[in-house]
Structures are given as C-alpha cells and as structure tokens.
Amino acid sequence: MSHFGGQIIVLRGKFGQCRFVGEFEKLNRIGEGTYDRARDTRSNEIVALKKMRMEKEKDGMPISGVREIMMLKSCSHENIVKLKEVVVVMEYCEQDLASLLDNMQTPFMENQVKCIMIQLFKGLEYLHSKEIVHRDLKVSNLLLNNKGMMKIADFGLARELGYPLSPTTPQVVTLWYRAPELLFQAPIQTTAIDMWASGCIMGELLLHRPLLPGKSEINQIELIINLLGTPNENIWSDFATLPATQNFTLKEQPYNNLKAKFPKLSTSGQRLLNFLFMYDPKRRATASECLQSTYFKEQPFPCDPKLMPTFPQHRNHQKAPPAIQVPQQYPQMVNRNPHDMAKPSLTELLAMSSNM
C-alpha cells in the first residue's frame, strides 16, 4: 500500500502495476468491522475492501496486516477466502456465521451443520498441510456466500509453523474458542488449537448458541472442566509441566458431559466431538481425520453447498440503537467478543497472586 497525492494506491502484478482505490466504488460497510462492500469498476465484481488501521502505527503498515497478506497470497483453496488485490481486496461473501446465528429464526438443520463443518475441515486440512495455523477460528471469521460456500477469513493472527517449533504467546484465539493448552500457558502451539476451535464451532452450530462462553480465562477453564472433566496426566501426558498448573488447584470433576449436552447427537457425532476435544493436543483429531468420520457418512447426509438456504444480508444494514430487546434463544448476541469483557486474564491473576 502506498500514498500518492492523497490517494491510496493498490499495488498488483509482478512489476508493481498500480491501481487507485478510487477504482473501487464503496457500497456499504459490512457489519461493525473494518470491511467495506465495494464494486470493482473495471470488472463490475463485488468485493470486500479491508481497511488497515494506521492511527497507532509509527513504523508503517502493522505486522498483522503484512502477515495476513503473505498468508493469503500463498493460499489457493475454495474454502479459504481469496485475496483479490494487494492491499487488501478480497472476494465478497454475503454472510458471516456469527451474524447468521444472531439473526436466524430457526437453527441450522443438522445436514446443513455437516455441510459447513466439512468445508471447514477441508479448509483446515489445506492450511495445515501448508504448515499454517489460523489461531483465531470463530464463527465471525467463517464467511458464507450465496452459493453455500464457506470461507475461512481473517488471517491477522495466522502463523507458519517452523521446525523445530518455537515458543509463541498463548494470548491468541478468542476466549470462547481457546484450547486448554493455551489457557494453561503452554509455550508451543500447533495446528491442534485450530481443531479445538473447530469443535467449539461445531457445538455452537448444533446448539445455536456458544458452547463455552467464558467471561474470563479462569471461568473458561471451569466451563471446559464442567463439560469434559478435570484433566490429569493420565489423559494429558504434559499436563503437570504446564506453567499455569503450578499456581492453583483445579476442582475435581470426573465426568464427561458431552452426551448430556448433545443428547440428540448420534454416537459417531459424539465420537467426533470427543476427538476434537481431546485435552492432549498430540491426541486431538486432525482435519484429515475429521473428514473421514462416519458422522459425515450417515443420515442425515451433508447437504450439497448449492442447496444451502440463502439469508437476508444482515451485515449490510445499519445496526439498531443499543437499547434493543435481545431474543432469548441467542442471548449472547449482546456481546460476541469476549475480549471486550473487562475481566482479569489468567496471567494477570497469577501475577497478582505471586505478589501477595
């Protein structure tokens, strides 16, 4: 991205051929994010323009923006959002799953959930084969176009895994979808954190509400234990070595309550969720293994993406004033971003306890 005469120039092509951002006609803002729906005046194609926030940047373009561009430039898959231009014009998708869940009158049917999850696993299989871990999978980062195609988007936190694996910050992945190894401050991250988030997304689509909506990192751990039981070294070999386990004692809860949470889910569906929710990341399901699950080969069979229903484009309409009546079936629509909740993090609590 370059500035010239007050215009932002979009660079493309091998030799840096320039296009002015004025060649894209802005139509409307998409939801409350940093994207605009726009029309490419050359091709008449509807695209999504992403704004790079520069207000607090002193040294040029933010590294997360550079990283997202590099990741997307290296990817070409039908279930990964396509980078159309640099910087940053993407293919336009009419929906994101968070907006759909907030506004749908009836939940997704199970065959539609299967259709979405198969596409998610296909996208992750592709990313993970390229040693890319997304690190921020959640329903608001999964897009759906009017042909029923699901696209993984928002690669600002994505990383390419190097070998040997090097330590990275555990403060990634939105809280409700954060894997236990991150909550317990494991220094090494693998593609398994994306698979845990996929399990949370599958549960959310089936329940039509967030599966593990924690209010803080400690509360998130409590919700996971209530659902899956208390982790120990028998099921997670590295558990005792994790930094956060040295500072407090977990409550004893010996039962796995997934079956009670999803009483109508088939045995193979229960098995798939349990495989995605393995505490030990080394034993957790891979995307390739999920695609082989018998859950997707039994009735109700996954619907064809082309047969997915279409929905009103809620993201393209102005939001109502804050004082609105929230539907009881999906109360979390008030605040879908756990990062906005003013709660102390596990790291902060541990630091406070060490200073007492």
Structural Rg of the chain based on CA atoms: 21
Q: Is the dihedral of CA 79, 284, 221, 259 positive or negative?
A: positive
Residue intervals in the chain for CATH 1.10.510.10: 95-349
- Confidence band, pLDDT 50/70/90 cuts, at residue 2: very low
Task: Collect all residues with Cβ–Cβ distance below 8 Å to 337 and sequence separation of at least 6.
Answer: 174
Is pLDDT above 50 for 38?
Answer: yes
Residue intervals in the chain for CATH 3.30.200.20: 11-91
- Confidence band, pLDDT 50/70/90 cuts, at residue 10: very low
Q: What is the pLDDT of residues 205-248, one digit of tens each?
A: 999 999 999 999 999 999 999 999 999 999 999 898 898 888 77
Is pLDDT above 70 for 12?
Answer: no
Q: Which whole-number Å values give the CA distances from 55 to 51, 58, 62, 279, in the listed order?
A: 12, 8, 10, 40
- Confidence band, pLDDT 50/70/90 cuts, at residue 258: very high
Torsion of CA 153, 310, 38, 335, to 10 degrees: -60
pLDDT of residue 35: 72
Average pLDDT for 303-309: 93
Which CATH code for domain 11-91? 3.30.200.20
In sequence order, what are the beta bridge partners of 39? 25, 46
pLDDT of residue 85: 60
Is pLDDT above 60 for 285?
Answer: yes
Average pLDDT for 81-105: 78
Task: Collect all residues with Cβ–Cβ distance below 8 Å to 264 and sequence separation of at least 6.
Answer: none
Distance CA 173, CA 195 (A): 12
The answer to whether residue 136 is catalytic is: yes
- Confidence band, pLDDT 50/70/90 cuts, at residue 171: low
Q: Tell me if the pTM is above 0.85.
A: no
Is pLDDT above 50 for 102?
Answer: yes
Q: What is the pLDDT of residues 118-152, one digit of tens each?
A: 999 999 999 999 999 999 999 999 999 989 999 99
pLDDT of residue 328: 42
Annotated active-site residue in 136, 238, 280, 304: 136
Distance CA 339, CA 206 (A): 24
- Which tokens hold the place of 127? 């990313």
Which CATH code for domain 95-349? 1.10.510.10
Cis amide leading into 87 (omega within 30): yes
pLDDT of residue 343: 44
* Summary mean pLDDT of the chain: 79
Q: Specify the amino acid at residue 270.
A: Q
State the angle between helix axes of 346-354 and 217-228 in degrees (0 to 180), rounded to the nearest 10. 110
Q: What share of the chain is helix, strand, coil (3-state, %, to 5)?
A: 35, 15, 50
